[in-house]
Structure formats: structure tokens, C-alpha cells
Amino acid sequence: MASVKFNLKDVRKVSGSTPIIARVSFSGKSFKYYIGESIPVKYWNFENQHVRQTRDFIDHIHINHLIDKIPPVVSKIHLEFKTEGVNPSVTQFKTRLTARLSDDSESESLLTFFDKFIESKRSQRAENTIKKYITCKNQIIKYSKAKGKTLFFNDINLSFYNDFLAYLYNTLKHSQNTAGKAITIIKAVMNEAVQLGLTKNQFFKTKSFKAPSAKTTKVYLTETEIQTIYNYDFSDNAKLDRVRDILIIGCYTGLRFSDVTRIKKENILARHYKGKDVQIISITAKKTDKQTIVPLKPIVQKIFRKYTIKDNLMMPRAISNQKMNDYIKDVVKAAGIKQTVEIIVNESGQSVAKIFKKWQLVSSHTCRRSFATNALLSGMEKQRIMNITGHVKEKDFDSYVCLTKEELSILSSDDPFFM
């Protein structure tokens, strides 16, 4: 048997970096092998013999990858010598190990590195982003099983690109935008592999490897529809009554579903402005970790009072986003919102116009779109709305506004410039 243990050359070094050493043992012999990397002692995890995963030392991804690669290479070399009937000297073993490690940069599978990529991002990315990475990884797993092959870095070429997209469209029935997200993530994974020196394949940077996308039609709830939903009597269905209240709060605050259900009494603040008392909500957005401050409409204050028990605000307990999306459809349908809309959907990579009932298309995200659109229609300045929704880029905010260019132009017709 051959084994490898890792440690630092000088574990007592206070400042600067010290080399990482692999202690390779085989057939009663052993030798020290400098892996070519050095780190400050404080970043070394003595228990698992790896570099600590921390934002303060970004090289941990590259170095841990190298550490993980050495043991299987050592085992393979040991087996080769046994097959050859050779009892190698330390020099022979070390020479072959050095040669093998320098030639082995393309040996890791895409999925193996994908797992390491996801783990390295957990402390740096939002939970929803990590979920998107995992979704993409699962798509690749399904594709690999269907094709009966293991993907390596060098396999990410034009042939893979076309075949993978065809699989997403025709087998998994994904839209162009869903497929585009997968391609974008694969490009990010490959880019990191290049930066770490794991591959020289940069085909993913060519124009041929672009992420497909298509414009989609999004819906919003008008002020009239929101009032209709608010006034509908759900007293015989406590579940839909709670979902309706969450929907109304979202439509009038622009908060995400994940933030609405976290509102507590401490988030509701009273302020004095222009001779009157104003209530605002101040909460740190779960997705962006940024503070969101919104003035509260009387209708929202009324809903909060409904859930205030003994001076303690008790918002309805959180349910999964998927369940929320299902129940919102039930709420809007029950309230009688049955307007039909024609939207563009993507089927097998093609844009197709279809007719739907509006209630079929609403989701928890419709609340933020409704807030942005209705606020703009009311005459509120775009920058003020963006300050509330947390959008930094105007183009990102514009994607939330469910108005045509003609409707947006008409909004400007009462500007003094056009009078």
C-alpha cells in the first residue's frame, strides 16, 4: 500500500508563508515531496490536512485541488511499479510522481471539479445562487448518463455545446433562458478551472459558446386587481387568506417573499416627516444582505395589525417558494382575476406565442414586478423606486417593469417638455 500525509514544513512560523509537504510512504520507504505551494500557518487545517476555506485566502481552491490530486496519483504509480515487477527506489518513485503531476492537468472530470467549485462558493454566494449551481450540475449528470460518458475539461467544445443544448431543449424540455443559465454557469466553472491552471481549454470564451436567451412576457397585477384580491373574502380558507395577505404586502412594499415572512415588530419604525407621522419598514434583504427601507401604505399597516398579538407582530409562517407560487395562483383565480394574456414562451429553443389566463402566470415574484410597475405608473421617479427595490442598474430594474415601450412613452406625455 502507498499513502500520503500532508503538513507544513515549519508549523511554528509566525509570519510569512511556509511550504506544504507531502509525506509519501510506499513499500516500507518514504520521502518528503514539496508540492510547490506555501501558505501562512494560520490558514492550515491540521485535522483534515487541507487549507482552510476562507475569503481571506482565495488560493485555497487551487491548493486544495492539488492536495486532492496527489494521493490517487501516488496509488496509481505504486500499482504500476508492482505490475512492472519493480521495487522502486525513492528517486524512481519521486521522479515518476513529478512527471505524472505535471502531465495530469486534464485528468479531473468536469463534475468532480464542479463539486469543488460549488463548495468553494458557499461562503461567497447567496443560497439561491448555490441552488442554481446545483441545478446545473444535475443537468450535466443527467446528460452524462444519457450519453454514457464522463465529461472532462477538454470535452467542453462546440460539439458538446450543440449536443448539450439539444438535450436541454428536446429531452428536459427547458426554455432558452433556462438553457442559457446552464451555459453561463458552465462558462464560470470552466473559467475558474483555467485560472487554477487545471486546463488550457478556453473554447468556452468564443462567440460560438454563447448563452442563449429569449425575451419573455411577464405579467403584473394592476392596482384594481390588487384591490379586488384584497377585498375578496377568504374567511373560509385560512391558508389562502394568509397567502393573500403576503401577496398584498409584497405588491405594496416590493419585498421578496423570503423577506415578507421574516418581518417582525422591530422592523416597523415610526418617523416624523413634514408634520406627520410616517411608518416605514426597515429590513435586511436575505438575498442581497442589504438594508431595504419602504414607507408603509395604510392597507399594509392594517394587515400588520391583523397579525399583531399582544403587541407582537406574528407574520404567517414561511412556506416553500414553490408552494407559495401554487397558492398564489389559487388566490388570484378565486378572486376572479381571469383576464387572458398572450405571452411568448420558449419550447425546444423556439419562441412560441400562447394564450394563458393571468392567474396561471402569477408567482411570488409577480409582487415585486407589480410594485415596480404600479409605482412607475403612479408617477414615482424611477430612481426612488430603485432605491426601494434595491436595483443598482437601470437595465435590471427595467426588466421588472411590465410595460411596453409605447406605454412607457405615454407616461412622459404630461412632462412639461411635451406641453
Is the domain of 333 the same as that of 409? yes
Residues 250 and 375 in one domain: yes
Q: What's the distance, CA 214 to chain centroid?
A: 20
The more confident residue out of 408 and 222 is 222
pLDDT above 70: percentage of residues in the chain: 96
- Between 28 and 312, residue with greater pLDDT: 28
Top pLDDT among 409 and 195 is at 195
Please report whether residue 216 resides in a domain: no
Instruction: Clarify whether residues 269 and 349 are in a common domain.
Output: yes
Is there a domain that residue 8 lies in?
A: yes
Q: Decide: 265 and 311 in contact? Cβ < 8 Å.
A: yes
Q: Residue 215 domain-assigned?
A: no
Q: pLDDT of 214-264, one tens digit each?
A: 777 788 999 999 999 999 999 999 999 999 999 999 999 999 988 998 999
**Is residue 137 in some structural domain?**
yes
Average pLDDT, the chain: 88
**Are 264 and 336 part of one and the same domain?**
yes
Q: Pick the last residue of a domain from 209, 232, 263.
A: 209
Phi, psi of 361 (to 5 degrees): -105, -10
pLDDT of the residue at 135: 95
Q: What is the pLDDT of residues 106-132, one digit of tens each?
A: 567 898 899 999 998 988 887 778 999
Domain finish residue from 70, 85, 103 = 103
Residues 236, 253: one domain?
yes
Mean pLDDT across 278-293 = 89
Mean pLDDT of 259-287: 89
Last residue of a domain, one of 83, 103, 123: 103
Q: Are 272 and 414 members of one domain?
A: yes
Domain count of the fold of the chain: 3
Q: Residue with C-alpha cell 502507498?
A: 2
Are residues 270 and 403 both part of a single domain? yes
Given a cut of 80, whether residue 416 has pLDDT beyond it is no
Q: Are residues 337 and 414 in the same domain?
A: yes
The model's confidence at residue 103, banded by pLDDT at 50, 70 and 90, is low
Whether residue 388 is predicted with pLDDT greater than 60 in this model: the reply is yes
Region 319-325: mean pLDDT is 83
Residues 85 and 122 in one domain: no
Lowest mean pLDDT among 181-190, 221-230, 285-294: 285-294
Mean pLDDT, to the nearest integer, of 280-288?
A: 89
- Same domain membership, residue 115 and residue 43: no
**Domain shared by 296 and 172, yes or no:** no
218 is a domain residue: no
Q: Which domain holds residue 341?
A: 223-418
In a domain, 145, yes or no: yes
Classify residue 217: in a domain, yes or no: no
136: CATH:
1.10.150.130
On whether the pTM is more than 0.75, the answer is no
Residue 106 is predicted with a pLDDT of 56
Cβ neighbors of 99 (< 8 A, separation 6 or more) are none
Domain-located, residue 214: no
- Is 97 found in the same domain as 22? yes
User: pLDDT tens digits for 138-160?
Assistant: 999 999 888 887 788 888 999 89
